[in-house]
Chains A and B, each alone.
Chain A
C-alpha cells in the first residue's frame, strides 16, 4: 500500500481495533480513509455485508485522531439513511466501535421514533454523530437554531444513496446538501451505494460541481447462486398465479432444511396467499412462520424482525418490506415467488441470505407460471454480466422545492437571490428558469394566481430586513407536521371489536366490502363488523375469505430484464446444455413454434387468434405491463382510426391483447403501419386520457407542495373545513390557474414515469427495425394464454376463474382432438 495514511497514528489505532476483532480492513475501506484525510468528497460502492458503513465512519474517526484540532464541540458527522429501522442498529454498532477504540464521541438517532426527551436534549447539545432520515434532516432545517446545530459539521454521509436517488426523497437530500454546503465550504460529502447502472451520474447528483471527488469501488463481489424450482411437468398452457401454488410442496422441504428462510412475493395479496398455502401444506408451521408486509401493524413487524434476528422464526413471508434493513444473521435461504421484475431487486433479495462477506447467497426461484422460467435464465445472465438497472434522478420536482422553501423560511428565513443560487446548484434544479423560481416565490408568498383584492394569504412574508419568514404559528405547525415526500394511500386502521390492533388497509378495499364479508389480513381471516372514524372493526372468523388486492402493488418490469428476456426467449428454441430452465421449457416452446412462432431477437411477433368468443390480436414486446398498457391503448386507437370498432385490452409483462367480438381486419401491410414509429407521441396523447393520469400523479404533488394537508395536529378543532381532495384541487387549478407549475409537473411526470416516453420510443424503434411475424391461429398459444387469463382475472372471483380456465383448456383440447 502506497497510501500515506497507513503511517498515521489514527490508522494504527483503528487497525488494532480491526485486529482485535480478528479482521483486517478491506482495500476499499483503506482507500476511503486515505482520500477522506486528503479532504476529498466521494462515493463508496460496495456490496452489503462488506463493512461499507465502516469505510466512511472510520475515515472520520481516523481523521479526528490524526487532526483533533480540525474538530470542535458539537455535531461533526451527520449520517443520512433512508430507513428509520436501520438507524437504531447502525448507531449501536458505531457507538460500540467508538467505545472499544476508546474515544468519547456520542452517537444518537433523530427521527420520528426518537424519545421527545432526547430530542430536547439534542437541541441543547448535539451529539458528535447524528443519524437522520431525509425528513428529519429537513425538520432540523426548519428550526430556528439550525445554524447552531450545524456550526461545526465536518462531514455528511448519505447511506444507501441508490435507494434515494430515483425518487423525491433524493431531491430532498440534494437540496439539504446544497444548503449546508453553501454555509460550510469545507464540508465533505460522501455517498454509500450498492451497484447501479449509472454510478457516474449518481455521483454527479450527490456532488454537483465538486472538483475534489473520488469514486471508490470495492473489488469484493458477492457470490449468488440461483436455483429454480421446477414443476413436475410443463403445462403447455401456462397460466399466471396458479402454478406457484402447486409448488408449495417443493417449497416446504427447502424451508425445513434451512435454518431460517425469507420468502419474497411481489404483492401483499400474494404474501397473504402464500402464508395460508404454507400453513395448509405443513400445519406444524403454525407459530413458526410469520407474515411481514407494509399493511401489518408496525409493532408486529418489529416483533417479526426481532425474532428473525434471534433465529426463532423458521420462515417469514414478505413483500418488498424486507428488501432493505438490518441483516438477519440466521437467514440462510431466500425464496423468490414469481418474477422479481428487476435485476437489482433480485440481487438485493438474494443478498438477504448468507450475509457474511465470503458466503454465497442462495436464492430459490418459484415460477408462478412456467414461462417465468425464461426469466430465471435471463436473470442468471444479467447477474453474470452485472447488468444492473439505472436509477434515474428526478429533476424539476417543484413540489419538493416549494416545500423546501417554506422549510427554510420557517427555520429563520432566507434571501430570495441567495436561496435561488443554492437551489440552482443542485442537479435537480440545474435547468430551472428564472421565471420558474419567481413562480415558486409567488406560490409561497402570494399563493399563486390571485385577484389583487385578497390579502388573506400570509404563508411566507418578508420581514424588515428583506428576509422571507413565517410568522403565523398555525401555518408553521401544519408545515412541520407535513414535511416529507412519501405520500401514503388513504389507509384505515383495522381493529378487533374486543380491542387489539391488527394493521392498516386501504380505504378503497374496505369501501367495496359489505358487513359480514370476510377478508385476509396479516395471516388472519377477519369478518367486517363495522366501519367508524377511519377504523375498521372486525372479529375473528374462518372459512373462505377475500384477499385484498392492494392498489399499486404491481411492480414494473425493468428494461434491462426485458432485454435479457427477449434474448432468452429466442434462445429457448435451441437451448444450450447449461440452460436448464430453457431445456425444461422445451415442450412448451416447441408447441409455440408449431402453432405460431417463437420470435428471435430481430423479430416481432403478432398473433391473430380467432376463437368462439371473437377475435384476439396478441403482441409480444416484452417491455413490462406499464408500457404495454400504453401500447395497447395506442394500437387500439390506431386501428379504430381506420374503421369504427370497439376493442377491449389486456396485458401482462410479456405482451398485450386486443380483443373484439367483431372481425378485426388487418393485413400485414396495415399491421406494419399501425406499429409505426411515426407520430408516436401525438397518437399516444390522443389515445389516452392524459388529464386523468395527471390527476392521479397530482395526488402526491398536492400533498408534498402543501395543497392538501395530510396530517393535522391532534387537538386542533375545525380541521374538517380544510379538507379537499387532490382531485378537486386539480380540477380547480385546471379551470382557474392552468399555468400552475405544479400542474405542469403532474403532466411531465405522466410522460416520464407513466408513459416512460423514452423507453416507449426505443421500443417502437426496435419494433420498426424488426421483421414483423404475423401468424393466424385458431387456438390459444402458450405465449398468449397467460395474457388471456390475466384479463379474466380482473373481473371474476377466483373460484369462478378456475372453472372458466378449465373450460377454456378443455375447449382447446377437444379442438385439437377433432382435428386429428
Chain B
C-alpha cells in the first residue's frame, strides 16, 4: 500500500491527511475515518444482486495496514460503520477487533448505523450518539451548518471531477477542508462519489492510489 500524506493545521492541531482516505492525529495518536459501510456487498447479495464479496475484507485489511503504519492506539469512525443489517461481512469486524485487542475503537453513529448498537456492545466499540468531542473539535456524521465550531464529519462521500485534456474526465474521492470544517471521503471503495462543488472557503485534496493532490477550488 502506497501512503502519501499532506500535513495541515486545523484548530491549532497538526493533522495528517493521506491518500488512503483517513486522517491521522499524532497528538492524540488517533486514526480518523468515515463511511466504512461494512456489509454493503453482502446486503446486495442477500437481495439477489451478485456483487463480489471480498470488498469488506479488503477494506478492513487496508484499515489494519494504516493502524500498523501509524502505530495508532485509537480509531474514530465518524459514522456509517455498517451499511444495513448484521451479516457475515459485518462479523469480520469481530475478528478485526480480536486482532487489535489494545485498540480503542470509537464510533459516532451515522444514518446507516441503525442496527449497530448491540454489536458494538458485544465487541467493545465505544459509540456516541450525535457527536464526540476532543480538544474543542466536534466529530459528527453529517457536516455541520453551524460555523462557530470546529467539526470533522463524513456522510456525503465527497468527490471531485478533474478534467484531463483533451477529453477525459477523472472522478476522485477527496477531502474538503475549510478553516472550521473537514469533510472526510468515504473509506470503503464500494461507495459512490458526490462531486458537487463546495463554496470557495473549502480547499480540496483529491486522492489517488499514487498521490494526494491539493487542488485550487475556483
CA separation between A736 and B54, bound complex, in Å?
7
B54 touches A724 (CB 8 A): no
Is A165 at the interface (CB under 8 A from chain B)? no
> CB-CB contacts of B99-140 with A at 8 A, as 1s and 0s?
000000000000010000000000000000000000000000
Is B13 at the interface (CB under 8 A from chain A)? no
**Which residues of B lie under 8 Å from residue A456 when comparing CB positions?**
42, 45-46, 87-88
8 contacts between A and B (CB under 8 A): A453-B88, A455-B88, A648-B166, A706-B48, A707-B49, A708-B49, A721-B40, A728-B190
> Which single member of B52, B166, B167, B168 contacts A448 (CB below 8 Å)?
B52
A722 touches B52 (CB 8 A): no
How far apart are B1's CB and chain A's nearest CB, in angstroms? 14
CA separation between A490 and B83, bound complex, in Å?
24
Q: Closest 7 CB pairs between A and B?
A: A447-B50, A475-B48, A736-B52, A459-B48, A457-B45, A456-B46, A737-B52
> Which single member of B48, B55, B165 contacts A648 (CB below 8 Å)?
B165
> CB-CB contacts of B162-193 with A at 8 A, as 1s and 0s?
00011110000000000000000000011110
CA separation between A591 and B53, bound complex, in Å?
65
Q: Is the interface of B mostly helix, strand, loop or mixed?
A: loop
Is A798 at the interface (CB under 8 A from chain B)? no
B42 touches A454 (CB 8 A): yes
Is A103 at the interface (CB under 8 A from chain B)? no
> Which single member of A449, A458, A478, A718 contacts B84 (CB below 8 Å)?
A718
**Residues 57-86 (chain B) with a chain A CB within 8 angstroms:** 57-58, 83-84
**Which residues of A lie under 8 Å from residue B168 when comparing CB positions?**
689, 692
How far apart are B171's CB and chain A's nearest CB, in angstroms? 8
CA separation between A706 and B40, bound complex, in Å?
16
Nearest A residue to B166 via CB reads: A648
> Which single member of A444, A722, A728 contacts B47 (CB below 8 Å)?
A722
A707 touches B51 (CB 8 A): yes
A451 touches B54 (CB 8 A): yes
Is A148 at the interface (CB under 8 A from chain B)? no
Is A443 at the interface (CB under 8 A from chain B)? yes
Report if A709-B84 is in contact (Cβ < 8 Å); known contacts: A456-B42, A722-B43. Answer: no
How far apart are A422's CB and chain B's nearest CB, in angstroms? 23
A706 touches B49 (CB 8 A): yes
> CB-CB contacts of A712-732 with B at 8 A, as 1s and 0s?
000000100110110111011
Nearest B residue to A442 via CB reads: B50
**Which residues of B lie under 8 Å from residue A706 when comparing CB positions?**
48-50
> Which single member of B55, B84, B189 contacts A721 (CB below 8 Å)?
B84
Q: Is the interface of A mostly helix, strand, loop or mixed?
A: loop
> CB-CB contacts of B6-47 with A at 8 A, as 1s and 0s?
000000000000000000000000000000000011111111
Tell me the A residues contacting B by CB distance below 8 Å: 443-444, 446-451, 453-459, 472, 474-475, 478-479, 636, 646-649, 689, 692, 706-709, 718, 721-722, 724-725, 727-729, 731-733, 735-737
Nearest B residue to A452 via CB reads: B53
A454 touches B52 (CB 8 A): no
A732 touches B190 (CB 8 A): yes
Report if A707-B50 is in contact (Cβ < 8 Å); known contacts: A725-B192, A732-B190. Answer: yes
CA separation between A706 and B53, bound complex, in Å?
17
Nearest B residue to A706 via CB reads: B49
A478 touches B47 (CB 8 A): yes
A722 touches B55 (CB 8 A): no
Interface centre among B48, B51, B167, B189 (most CB of A within 10 A): B48
A454 touches B192 (CB 8 A): no
Report if A728-B49 is in contact (Cβ < 8 Å); known contacts: A454-B42, A718-B84, A722-B43. Answer: no
- Additional A-B contact list (16), CB under 8 Å, known A706-B48, A724-B190: A448-B52, A454-B88, A457-B50, A475-B47, A478-B47, A479-B48, A646-B166, A649-B167, A706-B50, A721-B40, A721-B43, A722-B44, A724-B44, A727-B192, A732-B51, A732-B55
CA separation between A360 and B71, bound complex, in Å?
84
B48 touches A472 (CB 8 A): yes
Report if A474-B47 is in contact (Cβ < 8 Å); known contacts: A450-B52, A451-B53. Answer: yes
> Which single member of B41, B58, B88, B166 contacts A649 (CB below 8 Å)?
B166
The tally of CB-CB contacts under 8 A between chains A and B is 97
**Which residues of A lie under 8 Å from residue B52 when comparing CB positions?**
448-450, 732-733, 736-737
Interface centre among A443, A447, A474 (most CB of B within 10 A): A447
How many chain B residues touch the partner (CB < 8 A)? 32
How far apart are B118's CB and chain A's nearest CB, in angstroms? 18
How far apart are A736's CB and chain B's nearest CB, in angstroms? 4
CA separation between A440 and B143, bound complex, in Å?
43
A450 touches B53 (CB 8 A): yes
CA separation between A735 and B166, bound complex, in Å?
27
How far apart are B158's CB and chain A's nearest CB, in angstroms? 15
Interface centre among A454, A472, A707 (most CB of B within 10 A): A454
A732 touches B50 (CB 8 A): no
How far apart are A260's CB and chain B's nearest CB, in angstroms? 43
Report if A478-B48 is in contact (Cβ < 8 Å); known contacts: A722-B43, A728-B192. Answer: yes
How far apart are B208's CB and chain A's nearest CB, in angstroms? 13
**Which residues of B lie under 8 Å from residue A724 when comparing CB positions?**
40, 44, 51, 190, 192
CA separation between A731 and B188, bound complex, in Å?
13
CA separation between A709 and B50, bound complex, in Å?
11
**Which residues of B lie under 8 Å from residue A728 when comparing CB positions?**
190-192
**Which residues of A lie under 8 Å from residue B44 when comparing CB positions?**
722, 724
How far apart are B169's CB and chain A's nearest CB, in angstroms? 8
How far apart are B93's CB and chain A's nearest CB, in angstroms? 15
A457 touches B55 (CB 8 A): no
CA separation between A162 and B51, bound complex, in Å?
36
How far apart are A475's CB and chain B's nearest CB, in angstroms? 4
How far apart are B91's CB and chain A's nearest CB, in angstroms? 10
CA separation between A478 and B87, bound complex, in Å?
21
**Which residues of A lie under 8 Å from residue B46 when comparing CB positions?**
456-458
How far apart are B9's CB and chain A's nearest CB, in angstroms? 34
**Which residues of B lie under 8 Å from residue A735 when comparing CB positions?**
189
How far apart are A436's CB and chain B's nearest CB, in angstroms? 16
CA separation between A636 and B166, bound complex, in Å?
10
Report if A447-B190 is in contact (Cβ < 8 Å); known contacts: A692-B168, A707-B51, A736-B55. Answer: no
A454 touches B48 (CB 8 A): no
A454 touches B53 (CB 8 A): yes
CA separation between A453 and B87, bound complex, in Å?
12
CA separation between A334 and B58, bound complex, in Å?
60
**Which residues of B lie under 8 Å from residue A444 when comparing CB positions?**
50
CA separation between A737 and B43, bound complex, in Å?
18
CA separation between A153 and B84, bound complex, in Å?
47
CA separation between A818 and B50, bound complex, in Å?
70
How far apart are B195's CB and chain A's nearest CB, in angstroms? 10
Nearest B residue to A725 via CB reads: B192
CA separation between A732 and B48, bound complex, in Å?
17
B83 touches A721 (CB 8 A): yes
Nearest A residue to B84 via CB reads: A721
How far apart are B53's CB and chain A's nearest CB, in angstroms? 5
A722 touches B88 (CB 8 A): no
**Which residues of A lie under 8 Å from residue B49 when comparing CB positions?**
706-709, 722
CA separation between A692 and B161, bound complex, in Å?
14
**Which residues of B lie under 8 Å from residue A689 when comparing CB positions?**
168
B50 touches A448 (CB 8 A): yes
CA separation between A675 and B196, bound complex, in Å?
42
How far apart are A743's CB and chain B's nearest CB, in angstroms? 11
**Which residues of B lie under 8 Å from residue A727 when comparing CB positions?**
192
CA separation between A733 and B41, bound complex, in Å?
12
**Which residues of B lie under 8 Å from residue A733 when comparing CB positions?**
52
Nearest B residue to A479 via CB reads: B48
A447 touches B45 (CB 8 A): yes
Nearest B residue to A475 via CB reads: B48
**Which residues of B lie under 8 Å from residue A737 when comparing CB positions?**
52
CA separation between A213 and B112, bound complex, in Å?
60
Nearest A residue to B168 via CB reads: A689
**Which residues of A lie under 8 Å from residue B53 when comparing CB positions?**
447, 450-451, 454
How far apart are B193's CB and chain A's nearest CB, in angstroms? 9
**Which residues of A lie under 8 Å from residue B54 when comparing CB positions?**
451, 736
A647 touches B166 (CB 8 A): yes
CA separation between A566 and B182, bound complex, in Å?
60
